[in-house]
Amino acid sequence: VLVAGMLALKRFAEMRLRLERLVGERTEALQEKTLQLERLVAQDTLTGLYNRRHADEFLLREIARARHEGHAISVALADIDHFKRINDDHSHGIGDRVLERVARIFTGLVRGSDLVARYGGEEFLFCFIGAGEIEAVRICEKLRLAVEREDWSGLGPELRVTMSVGLAFCDTDAEASTLLAHADASLYQAKRLGRNRVVAGAVRRTASA
């Protein structure tokens, strides 16, 4: 009887270990599926960059953190110049390849703490954490030059790709909508001045701030 009881206890312990292992494996698989779903919801399917929804949430969160911690934050909007002409002259498929390659250039150059997202069509958004005027302009110029100097001949013998960038930087008092509006205005100015350039503007404190 004693031996039978010990064997029963041993089998029960083994069953319990198997059950705990199974539950752990199922939990881990569920967590991985959840992470995959979260990445899919936040990701642009063509470029693999973050999408606009994630970028807007990130910007709101980081501006609140910048206000709390007292560091600077800068936002840039970049637009591929004459992208419609690229689609018309080389095909929409080539246009997609351009967007994919531009995204790879961006991810290879931005800092780990920063955000780059496809904000819509051929427009991209950058959020530079802790970057003031000089640092943000330097990063944007590096990105612009990398796109301009890329060898695009493999996609088309006469293909040339450039981009215009509008940058807004400020202290920690700005709202997300204000930063985006200033970045958009600077981007419009870059286009008006001839494209393939970075135009920066500061968001100034109000008198009551």
* Segments in the chain forming alpha helices (H): 2-42, 52-69, 83-90, 92-109, 133-149, 176-192
Alpha carbon 178 to chain centroid distance? 19
Q: Establish whether 150 is a catalytic residue.
A: no
Angle (CA) 72-74-78 rounded to 5° is 170
Catalytic residue among 28, 69, 100, 122: 122
* C-alpha span between 206 and 199 (Å, rounded): 22
User: What single-letter DSSP state applies at residue 193?
Assistant: T
Q: Long-range CB contacts (< 8 A, 24+ apart) of 88-94?
A: 89/156, 90/155, 90/156, 90/159, 94/155, 94/156, 94/159
* C-alpha span between 77 and 145 (Å, rounded): 15
Residues with catalytic roles: 122
